[in-house]
Chains A and B, each alone.
Chain A
């Protein structure tokens, strides 16, 4: 009442109902466009860049506490890690000798078969910034983005194997869909017999699924799935999941297998993004259907 401003006798501007209708229509169109096409990504990136300093600011105390804890535990952790590493080194030494022999043999065989050599991938180490609280998707937000060479479509791995795939990038952050998310599908093969399949996430939470197997497909519980390299995005030979059970459905004549991912995105904070060449990927805007299924040409 005592505010130093002119008293308004009449309310100006549009009515509340009109504003409601305008804003609701705006949000509905945003929703529909964002669910179907990628047209809004620049807007999202712009908002994300604005949010970034605030996110860092708010998460700073948490990072500080974590760093402090790490520093306090450093001696204990280092000792434990040293022991584990020493043990691992002995184990690896054996495997390494074996692997060197095998790779020499493999190279020779490849030369004989005139197969192009596989190249090692450049990669970026990233750290989880936060996990978005979203009931619908299981994504991770990493602390590096296009400025570090990350592009949408690149695979994310940890020491267990494939974790997921980058689905969205902003200049300073990137968003990865986990293996178990329904937007990701990965061309895989069974390590035991080379059977080529496509692993999908989504239907069963926390599991990867292999659908439309013929009923007599040679696949059993305990088989390991590794990436087959078909499709060009995931380099061949990364472990993906272990088959848990195979369900054979006599009604459809197809079988499906459920597999547990071998990576552990929930345990650690550091991951590796493989900087594969995503330029060969079909443009997401040209084919919304392919884009909706993890941009795998091997669909």
Chain B
């Protein structure tokens, strides 16, 4: 699972600007951008986890894809389609597959997240997951069709499960990866009531 390390260290110092006093008027739960260190450490952690042998089960969710898609949606300035492409390429080498296979799938998912961003930001994590399921399925399907065309063999249907599990884990990723930015105001408020 993706952990959220150093939640304290990545929190932005409060009162950095005199304008921060005005913030409680804003109702949205998180406004501050995620710390770049946190973004990249989660991506790297997911990347390293992908080297472990648990992915031998072909229906296993793609944690790296999930994290990259999440940051493409929430931090498009830092994690872009290019990042997705590079990490996909590294996974191609790791999996001894054709070069460009995962790179294509990751790029397509990253684009899906970027293209749906304005819509997705209006919804909660569960609805976002439902929106992203077809994106995961389509990208995996495109890759498998191209592989079938190039290599003349069909890799089975396990990837459908993989896409489904990845989408199911989206709300979990949402909770974990947003944890360091969640403002204390909310919990304070709840404690007071």
Chain A interface residues toward B at CB < 8 A: 1-3, 16, 19-20, 23-24, 26-36, 40, 43-44, 47-48, 50-51, 54-55, 57-59, 62, 130-137, 139, 141, 168, 175, 182
Nearest A-chain residue to B89, judged by Cβ: A47
| Contact stretch, chosen from B128-136, B152-160, B167-175, B185-193 | B152-160
CB neighbours of B81 from chain A (8 A):
16, 19-20, 23
Q: Is the CB of A139 within 8 A of B151?
A: no
Q: Is the CB of A51 within 8 A of B93?
A: yes
Assembly CA distance A79 to B85 (angstroms): 52
Q: Is the CB of B96 within 8 A of A24?
A: no
CB < 8 Å A-B pair total: 128
Chain B interface residues toward A at CB < 8 A: 12, 16-17, 19-20, 31-33, 47-49, 51-53, 55-58, 60, 80-82, 85, 88-90, 93-101, 103-104, 107-108, 111, 114-115, 146-147, 150-151, 153, 155-156, 158-159
Smallest beta-carbon distance A142→chain B, Å: 12
Give 10 CB contacts A-B under 8 Å. A19-B82, A20-B107, A31-B99, A32-B150, A34-B98, A59-B52, A133-B56, A133-B57, A137-B97, A175-B96
CB neighbours of B53 from chain A (8 A):
62, 130-131, 133
Nearest B-chain residue to A57, judged by Cβ: B48
Smallest beta-carbon distance B119→chain A, Å: 14
Smallest beta-carbon distance B18→chain A, Å: 11
Nearest A-chain residue to B53, judged by Cβ: A130
Smallest beta-carbon distance A156→chain B, Å: 15
Smallest beta-carbon distance B142→chain A, Å: 9
CB neighbours of B16 from chain A (8 A):
2
CB neighbours of A168 from chain B (8 A):
96
Assembly CA distance A23 to B114 (angstroms): 14
Smallest beta-carbon distance A141→chain B, Å: 7
Smallest beta-carbon distance A291→chain B, Å: 14
Q: Quick one: given A31-B104, A35-B150, are A43 and B97 in contact (CB under 8 Å)?
A: no
- Can you add 4 more A-B contacts, CB < 8 Å, to A55-B94, A132-B97? A20-B111, A24-B104, A50-B90, A130-B53
Identify the interface centre among B94, B100, B147: most chain A CB within 10 Å of its CB. B100
Assembly CA distance A29 to B155 (angstroms): 21
CB neighbours of B51 from chain A (8 A):
51, 54-55, 58-59, 130
Smallest beta-carbon distance B117→chain A, Å: 9
